[in-house]
Amino acid sequence: MIVAGSLLLVVFFSAFSTAPRFLNLIEAQSVNDLEIEMTASGGSSSECAVVAITNRTSDPVRIRIEPGMRLIQENEEYQDILVTQPSQILVDRWERVELPVHGYCCESSDRTPEAGLRFSQVEAASDELSSLAIRISDGEYSPSQSQAAIWSISDGTHLGAIYDDEAGEELMQYCADMRGEEMPWYQVDYGDILDRPFSNEPVRLSGEMSYVVDHLAHADLLVYGPDGKVILTFYEGKVMTPAMYKQSFAFSATDLAPGDYVFTLLLDGQVKQTETVTI
């Protein structure tokens, strides 16, 4: 009787329980009886959107939001959002739930989506942006590093904006490899880049130039601007013995014209080494 009762209980329970369907958000938006509403939370980073899901199907549904998905803004004046963190939620029959979306804007010249603005659909981002989103999800990067990295791939903004610490250097190298470029040897600070369109106006340049003096010499270390004139002198006629040297620098870039700035080492009046900063 105990065995029969247990079997009866299992049959009874099974008749009234249904395993949830598993769908990602892209798949879910094509299901007729699933209502998907996607709206901006205001801001361009972190939890910057909300997905509301109403389930009118006969089964519970588990919805996954995955890194590399792209929320498309209805108004083209505003930026789309690239999802960078995974999340999921169970939506029971006839239930409405909301799920925050963690991501970043991915159209640097457009406006930051205002709270309440609707996204028309979700789609897979490009292979490059999808790979970067997964990288960001797996790493420990600051919001500014993540945003700068995404814009460097989506819009070709300066790789030097990503660098801030060791993690930022690693992320900058990853993006440089993706773009097929050398990693910059310097950093470009654009100020606060979060929750606003990208200004493309650097406020500060910094870095460290490494060079070798291979004989006793009088050395000059100068920086030439785009017009070929010297804009900065580190030293002139300095007596230097053979060794490897490093020269750190950090200065305001707010009044610098766009173009190439050439750091030039001269030994006894002859050019020994040049390194270029481009802004």
Instruction: List all residues 6 or more positions away from 137 whose beta carbon is below 8 Å from its beta carbon.
Output: 67, 84, 85, 86
Reading the block at residue 161, the tokens are 């904006």
Q: What is the pTM of this model?
A: 0.85
State how far the Cα of 235 lies from the Cα of 229, in Å rounded to an integer. Answer: 16
Q: Are 63 and 55 in contact (CB under 8 A)?
A: no
DSSP state of 46: S
State how far the Cα of 117 lies from the Cα of 268, in Å rounded to an integer. Answer: 63
Query: Going by CATH, does the domain composed of 207-278 fall within 2.60.40.1930?
Result: yes
Pick from 21, 198, 178, 53: nearest CA to 122: 53
Q: pLDDT truncated to tens, each residue of the chain (279 aa)? A: 444 444 444 444 443 357 899 999 999 999 999 999 999 998 888 899 999 999 999 999 999 999 999 999 999 999 999 999 999 999 999 999 999 999 999 999 899 999 999 999 999 999 999 999 999 999 999 999 999 999 999 999 999 999 777 788 999 999 999 999 999 999 999 888 887 778 788 899 999 999 999 999 999 999 999 999 999 999 999 999 999 999 999 989 988 899 999 999 999 999 999 999 988
Q: Where are the domains of the chain?
A: 19-189, 207-278
CA geometry: angle 98, 99, 100, nearest 5 deg = 125
Q: Are 157 and 172 in contact (CB under 8 A)?
A: no
